[in-house]
């Protein structure tokens, strides 16, 4: 059976994203299918910036026996429209959906998106291969683990596979399936201008932050240092010189991380790495080991400068240690990116000011800010739904994301305006006015220049006087 896996477009065609990564989620699935003898294609409509019409035309020309889409909360509405257009054009071709949004509530998605036939939750390499085999042979679907499907009796969700998946037995993704996008240089990370790729060395996160989709169905798996190094050496041999490690939390297994750092240092490759970590899961020894191994950028999810909010989020971090880890990382020669979140229940203009003061005081090399998206199934979503502060829902027919109403907000725009205040107070300073142009020129990074200009245009839009007056000085 021919299977077509489609990475849906994620961004406005007129805007530049911070990064466009190879769709490793689909490449893992496609590789598993290919190794079982199936004919499989991967269409990266995001990298190619395809319109929905172009996606549907290309899908029809491919004439697959099964079409698969990942379902991401942030682009739920756009993807659902694409699924419906696909169904209209190919009414007899079954469609399967997967991804974190499906995993959060497969039955809810099956009810809301009747145009799709199958929904697979969790890690889907085994389930998708079994589904394809069942469709080819006409076998029953009840044996396919983690599959939600329609029966004459109604929607049925099969049990998960009780056997633990061996992540080290999963083949390295076959990147030749998206060779055309590599050849056109459509994959990038704006912080870097070197030959680029990405890798996943572990899945999931053991922590249970109340706003995070990882806590919906916690299950963590890490690849062995041998497996990780095999892929890194392979990518290096293909010319990769900047590697974005796409794990949510690379260092949670500290001995494994230290062993990988040791091996990278020993290999002496001209390779720069970007990793993500939690401040409460690193120390000075690990930071120095990361620097010696070639890590150039480390990203920390700080979330807030308010200890009260960190505790409410169950971050298991504290403000003082967060500041210390940022300073220690920069002292070791690493560039530090810090991520922040506003709009969590209990947030006030005063706690946003605390976060702005923290970001200004710690002087990270780059920052990003998100307004809380109460993801389906998370604790903050369920609580807001229960207490009546959830505004909107994850309805695929509604283009707007839900948000949590706070006592002092009239609309989500109040948080958007505070976001602009955050960026202006953080970035419009001499330190960044000098550092960013210097980095752009040093690395001849035109994408970073374009993204910086786009971001500057966003943050220079005036915030309301009420927000300006209450912002940190």
Q: What is the pLDDT of residues 22-75, one digit of tens each?
A: 999 999 999 999 999 999 999 999 999 999 999 999 999 999 999 999 999 999
* pLDDT in the model for residue 468: 38
If you average pLDDT over every residue of the chain, what do you get? 91
How much of the chain exceeds pLDDT 70, in percent?
A: 90
Closest CA to 205 of 272, 105, 281, 146: 281
Q: pLDDT at residue 297 above 90?
A: yes
Select the more confidently predicted residue: 22 or 194: 22
- CA atoms of 132 and 129, how far apart (whole Å): 5
The percent helix, strand, coil of the chain (3-state, each to 5) is 45, 15, 40
Task: Please state the length of the chain.
Answer: 473
pLDDT value at 466 more than 50: no
pLDDT in tens, 147-166: 999 999 999 999 998 777 88
Which residue is associated with the tokens 């001209």?
Answer: 270
- Residues 348 and 408: their CA atoms lie apart, in Å, by 7
The 3-state DSSP class for residue 7 equals: strand
Phi and psi angles of residue 78, each rounded to the nearest 5 degrees, phi first: -60, -40
Quick one: what percent of the chain has pLDDT higher than 90? 81
What's the rounded Cα separation, in Å, for the pair 267 and 249?
A: 23
Q: Is the dihedral of CA 264, 175, 71, 227 positive or negative?
A: negative
Domains in the chain, CATH or no CATH each? 2-155 (3.40.50.2300), 187-470 (3.80.30.20)
pLDDT score of 421 more than 60: yes
Q: Whose CA is closest to 7, among 61, 64, 75, 60?
A: 75
The band of 446, judged by pLDDT with boundaries at 50, 70 and 90, is low
């Amino acid at each position: 059976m021919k299977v077509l896996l489609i990475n849906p477009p994620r961004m406005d065609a007129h805007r530049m994203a911070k990064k466009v990564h190879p769709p490793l989620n689909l490449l893992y699935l496609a590789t598993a299918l290919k190794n079982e003898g199936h004919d499989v294609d991967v269409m990266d409509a995001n990298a190619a910036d395809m319109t929905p019409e172009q996606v549907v035309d290309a899908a029809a020309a491919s004439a697959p026996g099964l079409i698969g889409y990942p379902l991401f909360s942030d682009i739920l509405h756009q993807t659902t429209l694409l699924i419906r257009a696909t169904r209209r054009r190919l009414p007899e071709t079954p469609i399967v959906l997967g991804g974190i949004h499906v995993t959060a509530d497969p039955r809810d998605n099956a009810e809301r998106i009747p145009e799709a036939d199958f929904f697979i939750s969790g890690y889907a390499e085994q389930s998708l291969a079994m589904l394809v085999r069942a469709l080819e042979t006409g076998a029953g679907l009840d044996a396919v683990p983690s599959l939600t499907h329609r029966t004459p009796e109604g929607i049925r969700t099969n049990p998960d596979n009780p056997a633990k998946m061996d992540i080290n037995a999963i083949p390295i993704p076959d990147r030749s399936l998206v060779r055309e996008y590599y050849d056109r240089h459509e994959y990038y990370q704006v912080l870097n201008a070197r030959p680029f790729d990405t890798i996943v060395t572990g899945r999931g996160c053991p922590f249970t932050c109340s706003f995070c989709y990882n806590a919906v169905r916690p299950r963590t798996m890490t690849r062995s240092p041998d497996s990780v190094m095999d892929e890194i050496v392979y990518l290096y041999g293909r010319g990769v010189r900047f590697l974005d490690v796409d794990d949510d939390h690379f260092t949670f297994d500290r001995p494994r991380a230290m062993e990988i750092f040791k091996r990278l240092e020993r290999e002496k490759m001209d390779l720069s790495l970007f990793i993500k970590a939690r401040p409460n899961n690193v120390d000075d020894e690990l930071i120095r080991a990361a620097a010696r191994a070639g890590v150039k950028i480390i990203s920390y999810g700080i979330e807030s400068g308010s200890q009260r909010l960190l505790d409410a989020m169950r971050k298991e971090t504290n403000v003082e240690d967060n500041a210390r880890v940022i300073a220690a990382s920069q002292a070791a020669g690493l560039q530090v990116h810090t991520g922040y979140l506003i709009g969590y229940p209990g947030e006030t203009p005063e706690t946003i000011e605390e976060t702005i003061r923290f970001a200004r005081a710690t002087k990270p090399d780059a920052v990003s800010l998100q307004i809380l998206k109460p993801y389906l199934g998370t604790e903050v979503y369920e609580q807001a739904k229960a207490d009546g502060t959830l505004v909107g829902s994850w309805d695929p027919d509604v283009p707007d994301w839900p948000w949590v109403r706070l006592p002092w907000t009239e609309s989500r725009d109040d948080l958007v305006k505070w976001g602009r205040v955050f960026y202006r107070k953080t970035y419009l300073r001499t330190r960044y006015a000098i550092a960013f142009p210097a980095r752009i020129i040093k690395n001849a990074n035109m994408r970073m220049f374009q993204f910086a200009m786009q971001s500057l245009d966003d943050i220079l839009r005036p915030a309301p006087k009420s927000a300006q007056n209450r912002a940190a000085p």
